[in-house]
């Protein structure tokens, strides 16, 4: 394997995401809610599967570049996918429509740029995905009014963990045991922790909100 630790971490997360998606679908109380959590779940599965394949398989140079662009695109997909249940189930109306338009518009723009690029630039991808993620700050008041500060703090905690991981990728620190377990592997763990945090918020507060 090219990078066995990274491949194993996100490969395991991909399998867990399948089960997590099923649980979210069962938890939701409406068709629109089930579709929204399915988008979130599928974005988790897509990101972790793509990441696992990209890091585990010894691709030829041309295919490695393609897989790197796809890997970076999946980060944008997950950010937009994470917003989707919140926008559809909890916000709805003008807030929900605006959130979906902005988040998905920026994500598709970023994925389009990556598709046309020769090589994925880590800094650019990280800057865009982090910017999209923290647009959630504008939703604090309506979210707190609907699902409470517990959900808001959970979303913020997940975003903070993602951001710490992104900073590690940009700075390439800490360098622990190069080629075995270093900043990149820590980043993969933080992505799992952050996405699990957002999954728990979605399961606990967002998915069942339609019944309220």
Q: Is it the case that residue 77 has pLDDT exceeding 70? A: yes
The stretch 165-188 carries a mean pLDDT of 90
What b/e string do you get for 5-25 counting C-beta neighbours within 10 Å, with b at 16 or more? bbbbbbbebbebbeebbeebe
Q: Is it the case that residue 75 has pLDDT exceeding 90? A: yes
Give the count of domains, the chain: 1
User: Among residues of the chain, what percentage have pLDDT more than 70?
Assistant: 97
pTM for this model (two decimals): 0.94
Spatial CB neighbours of 91, under 8 Å, sequence gap ≥ 6 = 99, 139, 142, 143, 146
Our CA angle for 48, 155, 114, nearest 5°, is: 45
Our CA angle for 81, 84, 88, nearest 5°, is: 165
Domain of 21, CATH number, reads 1.20.1070
Structure confidence at residue 116 (pLDDT): 87
Task: In whole angstroms, give the CA distance from residue 149 to residue 10.
Answer: 30
Task: In whole angstroms, give the CA distance from residue 48 to residue 7.
Answer: 9
Task: In whole angstroms, give the CA distance from residue 55 to residue 3.
Answer: 5
Length reported for the chain: 212
In this predicted model, what pLDDT tens digit does every residue of 84-127 receive, in sequence order?
Answer: 999 999 999 999 999 999 999 999 999 999 988 777 676 778 89
Structure confidence at residue 125 (pLDDT): 82
Provide the domain limits for residue 107. Answer: 4-211
Q: What secondary structure does DSSP assign to 130-158, as a single string? A: HHHHHGGGGGHHHHHHHH-HHHHHHHHHH
Task: In whole angstroms, give the CA distance from residue 22 to residue 19.
Answer: 5
Average pLDDT for the chain: 94
Spatial CB neighbours of 86, under 8 Å, sequence gap ≥ 6 = 99, 139, 143, 155, 202, 206
In this predicted model, what pLDDT tens digit does every residue of 152-173 receive, in sequence order?
Answer: 999 999 999 999 999 999 999 9
Q: Is it the case that residue 19 has pLDDT exceeding 90? A: yes
Residue 177 sits at φ, ψ, to 5 deg, of -120, 85
Residue 105 sits at φ, ψ, to 5 deg, of -60, -45
């Amino acid at each position: 394997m090219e990078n066995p630790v990274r491949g194993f971490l996100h490969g395991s997360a991909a399998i867990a995401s399948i089960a997590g998606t099923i649980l979210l679908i069962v938890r939701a109380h409406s068709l629109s809610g089930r579709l929204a959590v399915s988008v979130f779940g599928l974005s988790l599965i897509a990101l972790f599967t793509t990441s696992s394949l990209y890091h585990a398989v010894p691709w030829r140079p041309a295919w490695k570049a393609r897989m790197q662009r796809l890997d970076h695109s999946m980060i944008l997909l997950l950010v937009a996918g994470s917003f989707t249940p919140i926008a559809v189930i909890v916000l709805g109306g003008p807030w929900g429509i605006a959130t979906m338009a902005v988040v998905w518009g920026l994500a598709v723009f970023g994925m389009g740029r990556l598709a046309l690029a020769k090589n994925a630039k880590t800094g650019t991808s990280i800057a865009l995905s982090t910017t999209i993620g923290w647009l959630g700050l504008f939703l604090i008041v309506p979210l707190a009014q609907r699902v409470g500060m517990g959900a808001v703090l959970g979303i913020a905690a997940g975003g903070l963990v993602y951001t710490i991981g992104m900073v590690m990728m940009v700075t390439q620190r800490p360098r622990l045991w190069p080629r075995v377990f270093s900043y990149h592997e820590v980043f993969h763990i933080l992505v799992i922790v952050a996405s699990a945090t957002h999954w728990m918020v979605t399961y606990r507060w967002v998915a069942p909100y339609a019944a309220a």
